[in-house]
Amino acid sequence: MLKFLVDMCLSPLTSDFLRENGYDVLHVEEISLASAKDEEILKFAVKDKRILVTQDLDFSRLLALSGSSSPGIITLRLQFPSPTNVNKILDRLLRTIPQNEIEGSLISVDETRMRIRKLPIQPESS
């Protein structure tokens, strides 16, 4: 079963939604990381093997630069990031993408598309 860490930029209602659907979920606020630096939040996600759910583009960059192959990040790039819309998009994603593809991937999602890149990100050859 997937484990998630929901970033501060998303509502605790999203954590509740994921829990109601049977996932192991923590919101950064619940673990006293609400004001932590991105690196600290990512370090926790890696250590606890939790897929980070965020709207912050910096996390994908940090994880890609680290060369790590886990835990995975879901970056929501939504025009309307209300909890209802976020939950609808996450529900669609979790029903569409197999668990083994979510783990160890950088996933970027907007209202109409999902882009998946497996980790580690390989440097482009010149």
**Whole-prediction pTM:** 0.93
pLDDT of residue 123: 65
CATH fit for domain 3-118, picks 2.30.29, 3.40.50, 3.80.10, 3.50.50:
3.40.50
Helix ranges (DSSP H) in the chain:
12-20, 38-47, 58-66, 83-96, 99-102
Q: Are the CB atoms for 39 and 58 separated by under 8 Å?
A: no
Question: What are the pLDDT digits (tens) for 87-124?
Answer: 999 999 999 999 999 999 999 999 999 999 999 987 66
Give the whole-number percent of the chain exceeding pLDDT 70. 97
Instruction: Tell me how far apart the alpha carbons of residues 9 and 56 are, in angstroms, rounded to a whole number.
Output: 8
Q: How far is CA 126 from the centre of its chain?
A: 30
Instruction: Tell me how far apart the alpha carbons of residues 22 and 39 are, in angstroms, rounded to a whole number.
Output: 28
